[in-house]
Structure 1
Amino acid sequence: MRFDLVDLKLFLAILEAGSITAGAARVNLALASASARVRGMEETVGTPLLVRSRSGAGATPAGEALAHHARLVLQQTERMRGELSRYGKGLKGHVRMWSNTAALSTRLPGDLARFLAQHPDVDVDLEERPSREIAPALRQGLIHMGVLSDVGDTAGLETRPYGEDRLMAMTPAGHPLAQKAGADFADVAALPFVGLTSGNAIQHLIERQAAQLGLPLKYRVRVNRIEAVGEMVQAGVGVTVLPAADAHRVAERMDVATFPLPDAWARRTLVVAVRSREALPEFARQALDALCWEW
């Protein structure tokens, strides 16, 4: 099945404009040429992509699927063009890197800042992803390197220790739980909870652990900033669990209490991982060495 970029742009233009005629005009094609391209796409797929009527044209279910993938392909194409154009302006390298939330909350931003300051001709494309997604991406060659928890499946990858991922409970100051000897995650999960918004990797981990205990979290509110979580806890809205770096930062500014969770899953080692250091391009090896001095 083959479609060129003109086909994809035309199809999206038809859906946005509501007719083949208007869509053809948007992409500067003659109506006859546009109609022939649509027929060719439908013949290739083997099913109609558009519902034609006197009022215009709309997508069939197959057309909706095509539109979805067309948007993704065109977005990636634009991203590729933008990245390649930077090489023509003197860029020597573009490092693709994924990191879990814990590393982004601790030393990784500082390490990358120092590396980028020393290498102005290298860019880093850094994305926050859960550890469970990072190792497969490395094996598939989607990224050059990743920072993740060692509890993930790192088989077949080269790894080096990078730090510790420790989770801490946070309660309002003077809360009885903060004074309870041996308080663990089960004690925290049983209380009204303040959480981060859906999609946050750490929040997903916390929810999964609570579910395994048979204690689905009783959210009172979910917010999108660590500072907002601290404000809610300080006001007595509920309790929460945060990476140690975030918990300490909040505790320095707000009237809250924190304590480390003793649960085994809440204390993990962070690692930097690659498929093969020797197979990396030179600029990516330089970035790797900046993170792990003794690779």
Structure 2
Amino acid sequence: MRFDLVDLQLFLHVVEAGSITSGAGRSHLALASASARLRGMEEQLGVALLTRNRRGIELTDAGRTLLHHARLLMQQMERMRGDLGEYAKGLKGHIRLLCNTSALTEFLPQALATYMHAHPHVNIEVEERLSNDIVQALMEGQADIGIVANTVSCAGLQVFPFRHDQLVLVTACEHPLAQMADVDGRVSFADSLTYDFVGLAGDSALQQYLSDHAARLGQRLRYRLRLRSFDGICRMVESGAGIAIIPETAALRYEKIMKISQLQLTDVWAVRQLLICVRQYDELPAHARELISMIKA
């Protein structure tokens, strides 16, 4: 099977335009040439990609699959062009790093600042994702380095210890949960779900992680407020607006300056080990290996 980029771009244009004629025009190809290219793609695959009718075209199941992969490839090409363009401006390296919320907010900022100070010509693209998504992205070669919780399988990847990460519940000091905690200052996640929560704004990996565990209990988190920082969350908790689940490192920091109580969760999933994951350490460029060496435990 041999498709070139012109074939894939033509296919995308045809799908987006809804007809072969319009798609050929967008690709700056004659209609006959475009039709021949599409037939050639179908002949190589041995299956139809499009069905033609008076209203235009419709995708077959094989066509939908090709559409998905063609879009990914073209996105990668655009990213490659952008990355290579940066090298002409003096860039010496680029690292794509995926991580969960705790790693991004609590552990990486200082570590990355130190690394980038020592490597001024290396750019780091950091994206927050769920641990499962990070593992999948690494397996598909969409990232160089990932930081995930040990609650997911990292089979097929090389892993290095990063940090210990514990999630805790924070409440106002007079909150009923603070009063009902056991002698060790612990409560269950299930007991907290009857109360209003304060959480992170946007598509936060931590909030999705908590929502998934609530769903397993047949419940959902009730958010009264969503904010962009743990500082803002803890201030709202202090005011009595709700309760929150945040990394223990953040809770310890804000407990010193705010009137909040920190409660340990009895749930096993609240205690996590964060891991650095890569597909193949020896195949990474030197600047990526140096980053791992600097930030690993």
Alignment check: 8 A CA contact 2:237 2:260 kept: no
Q: Which runs of 5+ in 1 are unaligned?
A: none
**Structure 2 CA distance for aligned equivalents of residues 173 and 243 of structure 1:** 18
Q: Quick check: 1:205 aligned with 2:206?
A: no
Alignment check: 8 A CA contact 2:171 2:244 kept: yes
CA positional deviation for 1:153: 3.9
CA positional deviation for 1:101: 1.5
**Structure 2 CA distance for aligned equivalents of residues 28 and 3 of structure 1:** 18
Which residue pairs with 1:61 in the alignment? 60
Which residue pairs with 1:37 in the alignment? 37
Which residue pairs with 2:92 in the alignment? 92
For residues 118-139 of structure 1, the C-alpha deviation after alignment (integer angstroms, 9 at most, x for no partner) is: 2122122322233344456556
**Structure 2 CA distance for aligned equivalents of residues 83 and 65 of structure 1:** 27
For residues 213-238 of structure 1, the C-alpha deviation after alignment (integer angstroms, 9 at most, x for no partner) is: x3523424574634675576566554
Deviates more, 1:35-44 or 1:70-79: 35-44
Which residue pairs with 1:74 in the alignment? 74
CA positional deviation for 1:265: 3.0
Q: State the AA in 2 paired with 1:58.
A: I
Deviates more, 1:68-77 or 1:169-178: 169-178
The change in CA–CA distance for 1:208 and 1:172 in structure 2 (over 3 A counts) is same
The change in CA–CA distance for 1:94 and 1:17 in structure 2 (over 3 A counts) is same
Which residue pairs with 1:111 in the alignment? 111
Alignment check: 8 A CA contact 1:167 1:260 kept: no
Aligned positions of 1:120-159 closer than 5 A: 120-135=120-135, 143-153=143-153, 157-159=158-160
CA positional deviation for 1:79: 1.2
Q: Which runs of 5+ in 2 are unaligned?
A: none
Aligned positions of 1:1-295 closer than 5 A: 1-45=1-45, 46-47=47-48, 49-53=50-54, 55=55, 57-62=56-61, 63-135=63-135, 143-153=143-153, 157-160=158-161, 162-172=162-172, 174-182=174-182, 183-184=186-187, 185-196=189-200, 200-212=204-216, 214=217, 216-221=219-224, 223=226, 225-226=228-229, 233=237, 236=240, 238-247=242-251, 257-263=260-266, 264-274=268-278, 277-292=281-296
**Structure 1 CA distance for aligned equivalents of residues 146 and 203 of structure 2:** 19
The change in CA–CA distance for 1:14 and 1:101 in structure 2 (over 3 A counts) is same
For residues 267-286 of structure 1, the C-alpha deviation after alignment (integer angstroms, 9 at most, x for no partner) is: 33334344665554321222
The change in CA–CA distance for 1:291 and 1:235 in structure 2 (over 3 A counts) is same
Alignment check: 8 A CA contact 2:255 2:262 kept: no
Q: Superposition RMSD on alpha carbons, in Å? A: 3.5
SS in 2 for 1:106: helix
The change in CA–CA distance for 1:23 and 1:277 in structure 2 (over 3 A counts) is closer
The change in CA–CA distance for 1:219 and 1:245 in structure 2 (over 3 A counts) is same
The change in CA–CA distance for 1:64 and 1:224 in structure 2 (over 3 A counts) is farther
- The count of aligned residue pairs is 288
Alignment check: 8 A CA contact 2:251 2:262 kept: no
Alignment check: 8 A CA contact 2:199 2:244 kept: yes
What is the TM-score with the length of structure 1 in the denominator?
0.78
For residues 197-249 of structure 1, the C-alpha deviation after alignment (integer angstroms, 9 at most, x for no partner) is: 7853322332344455x352342457463467557656655433122345467
Alignment check: 8 A CA contact 1:233 1:240 kept: yes
SS in 2 for 1:261: strand
**Structure 2 CA distance for aligned equivalents of residues 51 and 152 of structure 1:** 44
Alignment check: 8 A CA contact 2:169 2:265 kept: no
CA positional deviation for 1:108: 0.5
The change in CA–CA distance for 1:171 and 1:235 in structure 2 (over 3 A counts) is same
Q: State the AA in 2 paired with 1:188.
A: S
